[in-house]
Amino acid sequence: MNYVSKKMRDKIPYEPISGDYRIRLDANESPYNVDKNIIDEFCASLYSLNLNRYPDPSALSLRQSFAKRYGVSCDSVVAGNGSDELISVIMTSLLDKGDTLAVAYPDFSMYAFYAQLSENKVLIYDKTPRYSLSDLLEFVKRNNARAVVFSNPCNPTGVGFDRASVLEFVSECPALCIIDEAYMDFWDQSVIDEADRHENLVVLKTLSKAFGAAGLRLGFAVGHKTLINALNIARSPYNVNTLSQTLGKIILDKSIENAGFLASQAKKLENKLKELLPDANVYPTCTNFVFLSHEDAEKIFRGLLKKGIAIRYFPTDRLRITASYDSEIEELCTAISEILH
């Protein structure tokens, strides 16, 4: 007898690149670690933590710091063990079994994965080169979708929709709108301040990118009180541990982001790749990474791995490359040139 549920039997685990590479440009992480002064303050706080007790179930201090940083109401925020946990909780608590979720492709693959685990029906909207939110809205309406999810700016393409377009989409959309702003710290078109004013909007944020705290696994959802209440009921009661709450609060209170610099480095990388690969389709970015398609994408990917440089490869000849220091960008470009010539 097979004791694994049918919905899991054909699933393939998400497998990020593993191994020891000199240059990591594959996961859209920040090349900057958390500031030493913040780490020192965190270390000093360890002696006062009661690790024998469960963490604050509501992560109140952490949420207050997040709310202050982003100018939103603390009551409209829920914290999670990374955005992934919150995506999973959203699928299980805000959708019923069999409800339809509209997902744009390409986008973050875990949206569809968690929806399928929750036994939701996933409808894929294939993006065209002239993809627009109006097209996606029509797709949602035509298919009577219960919810729609997309990242803005988009992972993996790096393309973003401006604030006015997103708010118009939310206002006209009859479905629950889940908008993942994991990369919005690199741009200035967030709708987070409007999240609690729309009954059908949830905005996701993270400390993994601009704040350089991917290892901390801290994510946040912001939305209308009715939606946030449902998420609080569905999530685990102690879902964010004491150490993450403590360090996350210090980061939010005192961190100086490198977002502006990394956004400029991504534009620099975009321009260099256009020069280096004139026959490639290099997407305009408003994030900390660059997405492109090229007929030798797999050759570039595998050649770079042999040189100790990791980037992200997507089947059908597409690459995603994280921006970094000038020295790493230069080494990347030199390596690509050597591989192709």
- Say how many domains are in the chain: 2
Tokens of residue 66, six digits: 């997040």
φ/ψ of 235, rounded to 5, equals -70, 165
56 close to 245: Cβ distance less than 8 angstroms: yes
Query: Looking at residues 63-89, what average pLDDT do you find?
Result: 97
Asked if the model's pLDDT at residue 195 lies above 90, the reply is: yes
pLDDT per residue over 130-143, tens digit each? 889 999 999 999 99
Which pLDDT does position 9 carry in this prediction? 77
Together in a domain, 279 and 157: no
Pairing of strands 100-105, 147-151: parallel
Which pLDDT does position 250 carry in this prediction? 98
Together in a domain, 324 and 202: no
Instruction: Select from 254, 280, 306 the last residue of a domain.
Output: 254
94 close to 177: Cβ distance less than 8 angstroms: no
Pairing of strands 176-180, 201-206: parallel
Instruction: Select from 254, 270, 298 the last residue of a domain.
Output: 254
244 close to 216: Cβ distance less than 8 angstroms: yes
Asked if the model's pLDDT at residue 22 lies above 90, the reply is: yes
Asked if the model's pLDDT at residue 341 lies above 90, the reply is: no
Instruction: For the chain, give the percent of residues with pLDDT over 90.
Output: 91
Which pLDDT does position 196 carry in this prediction? 96
Together in a domain, 275 and 245: no
Which pLDDT does position 157 carry in this prediction? 96
pLDDT per residue over 154-194, tens digit each? 999 999 999 999 999 999 999 999 999 999 999 999 999 99
C-beta atoms surrounding 37 within 10 Å: 11
Instruction: Select from 209, 236, 254 the last residue of a domain.
Output: 254
C-beta atoms surrounding 193 within 10 Å: 14
Together in a domain, 122 and 225: yes
pLDDT per residue over 43-53, tens digit each? 999 999 999 99
Q: Please give the single-letter amino acid code of residue 17.
A: I
219 close to 191: Cβ distance less than 8 angstroms: no
Which domain covers residue 126, as residue numbers? 36-254
Cα separation, 329 vs 272, in Å, equals: 9
Which pLDDT does position 256 carry in this prediction? 79
pLDDT band at 257 (very low <50, low <70, confident <90, very high): confident
1 lies in some domain: no
CB contact burial 92-123 (16+ within 10 A = b; e otherwise)? bbbbeeebbbbbbebbbeebbbbbbebebbbb
Pairing of strands 219-223, 201-206: antiparallel
Which pLDDT does position 61 carry in this prediction? 98
178 close to 230: Cβ distance less than 8 angstroms: no
Together in a domain, 221 and 317: no
CATH number of the domain enclosing 156: 3.40.640.10
Cα separation, 68 vs 191, in Å, equals: 16
Cα separation, 71 vs 79, in Å, equals: 16
Query: Looking at residues 299-327, what average pLDDT do you find?
Result: 96
CATH number of the domain enclosing 15: 3.90.1150.10
87 close to 204: Cβ distance less than 8 angstroms: yes
